[in-house]
Amino acid sequence: MMVDWPALKVAALESQSRAYAPYSNYRVGAAVLTQSGEIFGACNVENASYGATCCAERAAAYMAVAAGYTVLTAVAVVTNGDAPGTPCGICRQVLAEFGGDMDVLCFTPEGAEKAYKLSELLPFAFTLE
């Protein structure tokens, strides 16, 4: 299946607009694509107890799983700044759980973008094997 990057980017941008980031001001939006073509977007949600914070990438993956989709094929992640930010280590591992070596597009609203394979970002992922 071809990845509809424009649709994923729109979903990530819409999600970023709802980010709750009063502590870091680092607003992140993410959108995952399921194997059957559904898109799930989510934002980061911070908490005064930092460990209770949830990243946008994990939130999007968990929304897809909660809806019954356990195979993800791509993720788009939007962050502000001069260069696109990449998913954190925990998010990389969660994405690997449901997407193997998925396509990852990191971008900014201003147009900077960088594409990766998940294996580039997490070369030694923990797996069922």
What domains are there in the chain, each with its CATH number? 5-121 (3.40.140.10)
Sign of the CA dihedral running 62, 58, 106, 115: negative
Q: Angle, to 10 degrees, between the axis of helix 56-66 and the axis of helix 89-99? A: 30
What pTM does this model have? 0.96
- Segment 92-106, tens digit of pLDDT: 999 999 999 999 999
Is 129 or 88 the better-scoring residue by pLDDT?
88
Q: What is the percent of the chain where pLDDT is above 70?
A: 100
**Among all residues, which ones are annotated catalytic?**
57
Between CA 49 and CA 27, with CA 63 as vertex, the angle to 5 degrees is 50
**Cβ atoms 90, 117 nearer than 8 A:** no
